[in-house]
Amino acid sequence: MTREEQLLAAMVEAVDTLVDDFDLIDFLHQLCDRCHSLLDVSAVGVMLADPTGSLQLIAASDEHTRLLELFAIQSDQGPCVECYRNGTGQLNINLTSDAETAGFPLFAQRAREAGFTTSHALPMRMRQKVVGALNLFDTRDQELSTRDARVGQALADVATIAILQHRTIVHGNVERAQLRAALSSRIVIEQAKGILAERWHATPDEAFDALRQHARSHQQALTTLCRELIDGSLDSSSIQRP
Instruction: Kindly state which CATH superfamily the domain 3-172 is placed in.
Output: GAF domain (3.30.450.40)
**Higher pLDDT, residue 67 or 167:** 67
SS3 content of the chain, % helix, strand, coil (to 5): 55, 15, 30
Class of domain 185-238: mainly alpha
Same fold, 3-172 and 185-238: no
Measured between alpha carbons, how far is 156 from 52 in angstroms, rounded to an integer? 22
Q: Are 242 and 206 in contact (CB under 8 A)?
A: yes
The CA-CA-CA angle for residues 58, 140, 105, to 5°, reads: 65
Number of C-beta neighbours around residue 100 at 10 A? 16
pLDDT, tens digit (0-9, with 9 covering 90-100), for 67-81 = 999 999 999 999 999
The CA-CA-CA angle for residues 20, 153, 103, to 5°, reads: 115
pLDDT, tens digit (0-9, with 9 covering 90-100), for 110-156 = 999 999 999 999 999 988 889 999 999 999 999 999 999 999 998 89
Q: Which amino acid is at 144?
A: L
pLDDT, tens digit (0-9, with 9 covering 90-100), for 194-241 = 999 999 999 999 999 999 999 999 999 999 999 999 999 999 889 998
For the chain, the domains span 3-172, 185-238
Of all residues in the chain, the percent with pLDDT exceeding 70 is 90
Measured between alpha carbons, how far is 162 from 159 in angstroms, rounded to an integer? 5
pTM surpassing 0.85?
no
Strand order in the sheet with 43-49: 55-60, 43-49, 129-138, 118-126, 90-94
Supply the angle between the helices 24-38 and 222-231 in degrees, to the nearest 10.
120
